[in-house]
Structure 1
């Protein structure tokens, strides 16, 4: 299902590449120096969590990855970022005209940090065992479109993303198994590489416990600050460790998108994962393109500070 109403829609060749490989890009959204200046300002402003939607201890303490969720719901720049036409036009050309942004996340990697385990995400039940997104008509395979933007340079030595092209059509992991949270599992060497998954071992979800990803096919996705890449969450992806050769952190900001037909956080009022939980009382998905005729999900039309979200017409 595609739409070609935006000047930023993927071209036919880009769509073919995406369908075959599960990713497309990178594309440039901000000038490299502009992005660096924006982040210098934002990293200080985002320390103020007084308007953040998650005020629970797990988020306020920053002790778990939940603290990095959904800052587009309180920050004006991030609110505009997830709705940028350069992003939304490309996403809509894949998902169709009616699109929600249901989550955003920061992915920091500091000097010496481990790499991220190879993984795929379909319903995002991987940590809690409870689906966070459900596609319609009983579909047992869906996922989300992730738009991962480099807020700093993302190089091999600082921990850039890795993809295994063409692996997005089938799942090697059973998200219903539920992983066991143990911070001690971080920085564990796996097949010669220091990798982890924020206190989990993603291998616990493997359908075949003896299976290993074919890393000979892996591609490293280096990006300069201000560039972004678009990929299915069901694509096998990981990241390199931060080698510590540079003292600069690597920071990615990911927006996650689904059609309006998808149910977000169905039948739940909280997120439970990474050893913590937060209430969804103030949460809302954001309509970024088209219209929502389903009414499945609670929508946010402005940030907690009153900044309106941009919605692009069909």
Structure 2
């Protein structure tokens, strides 16, 4: 990472304008392909050690649910540096401004035979837990949601469950997160067809949140994000996005890693001590937001400056 610290990866004004129009920017390179393959071969073994993870598998029933994938940047040196990489942060600050937090990270694995992910949007991220997880100040309500930077740790093609976007949909919410969804783990990988594709949402049915139950996503406008290992794409969480099924039995797992970013003015997990979703519950006792750029003069968020192993987050 040291050889990129002095480089500038700020997108051009034309690229920023295009981002605001479409809702996404990329794919762009974060690592060379062979570098990403080498790093992941090493790091996947290190990540098996959860002894310093902020969410203990035994504590609060995180288990093997999707919630166990959260926030490994808080204990992994590699992921701590990854969320702060200038290839990512320079692009994020071009949209959010100079003072930015990473408030969550997640792994998104797809194995051969896995269903696609439902079309969805996320504004406050209250859809599963019932509580808003991020709240923008009223003065900034032109915005909402989070900037997600999704990095392909392995190849993502149309056969191996690449992301799909519907450009321009970030300006209108078609789902009401306050309605809540019912967790039904027996429906994971259920054979439910949506726009001709088998889809689900990790034990939920995202269609339960639709404002208009008869509305259908405009899938004829969808674009597929085919990505090589080490490439990333930045997008608004409020833009409609999904993923294709993993339909290649001769291919291995497709793995994406998402960092989620907001300006420091945004409240993260307000009045919340734990997160209860995807059939698991984790305590936020050891959780903290990470400043990746600028300064944070606000006092409303939990903050950490080092990982649980003592590695300092490199602020841009």
Q: Do they superpose with TM above 0.5?
A: yes
Residue 280 of structure 2: aligned partner: 276
- SS of 2:159's partner is helix
**Structure 1 Cα separation of the partners of residues 227 and 60 of structure 2:** 29
Q: Distance in 1 between matches of 2:64 and 2:86?
A: 34
Match of 1:286 in 2: 290
> 2-side partners of 1:146 and 1:196: how far apart?
20
Q: 1:41 to 1:198 in 2, by over 3 A?
A: same
Matched, 1:49 2:50: yes
Aligned residue for 1:168, secondary structure, equals: helix
Q: Which residue of 2 aligns with 1:97?
A: 98
SS at match of 1:157: coil
User: What is the rounded CA distance, in whole Å, between the counterparts of 1:185 and 1:17 in structure 2?
Assistant: 38
Paired residue secondary structure (2:138): coil
Partner of 1:150: 152
State the distance in 2 between where 1:256 and 1:190 align: 29
Deviations 1:128-156 (A, max 9, x none): 11100000127385000000000000111
Q: Distance in 2 between matches of 1:281 and 1:244?
A: 41
Q: CA deviation at 1:60?
A: 7.2
Residue aligning to 1:24: 25
Distance 1:38-1:60 versus aligned 2 partners, 3 A rule? farther
**Alignment correspondent of 2:215:** 211
Contact 1:127 1:273 in 2 (8 A): yes
Aligned residues: 308
Counterparts of 2:203 and 2:277, CA distance in 1: 10
Residue 56 of structure 1, CA deviation: 4.7
Match of 2:261 among 241, 245, 257: 257
Displacement over 4 Å in runs of 4+: 58-61
Question: Contact 1:109 / 1:249 at 8 angstroms: preserved in 2?
Answer: yes
Q: Is the 8 A contact 2:147 2:234 kept in 1?
A: yes
Where 1:158 maps in the other structure, the secondary structure is coil
Residue matched to 1:186: 188
Give the corresponding residue for 2:135: 134
Secondary structure (helix, strand or coil) at the match of 1:17 reads helix
Taking the aligned partners of 2:80 and 2:226, their CA distance within structure 1 comes to 25
State the Cα RMSD in Å: 1.5
TM-score by length of 1: 0.95
1:128 to 1:140, Cα distance in 2 relative to 1, 3 A: farther
**Which stretch has the larger CA shift, 138-147 or 294-303?**
138-147
CA contact (8 A) 1:113 1:241 kept: yes
Indicate if the aligned counterparts of 1:58 and 1:276 stay in contact, CA closer than 8 A. Answer: no
- After TM superposition, the structure 1 stretch with the greater mean CA deviation from structure 2, 86-95 or 56-65, is 56-65
Check the 8 A contact 1:111/1:248 in 2, yes or no: yes
**In the aligned structure 1, how far is the partner of 2:184 from the partner of 2:164?**
24
Check 1:150–1:17 CA distance in 2 against 1; reply closer, same or farther (3 A cut): same
- Cα deviation, 1:146-197, whole Å, max 9, x if unaligned, reads 0000000011100000000000001000000010000122223223211111
Counterpart selection for 2:237 from 217, 229, 233: 233
CA distance in 2 between counterparts of 1:59 and 1:6 reads 42
Give, in whole Å, the separation in 2 of the partners of 1:264 and 1:246: 41
The 5 Å alignment of 1:160-175 reads 160-175=162-177
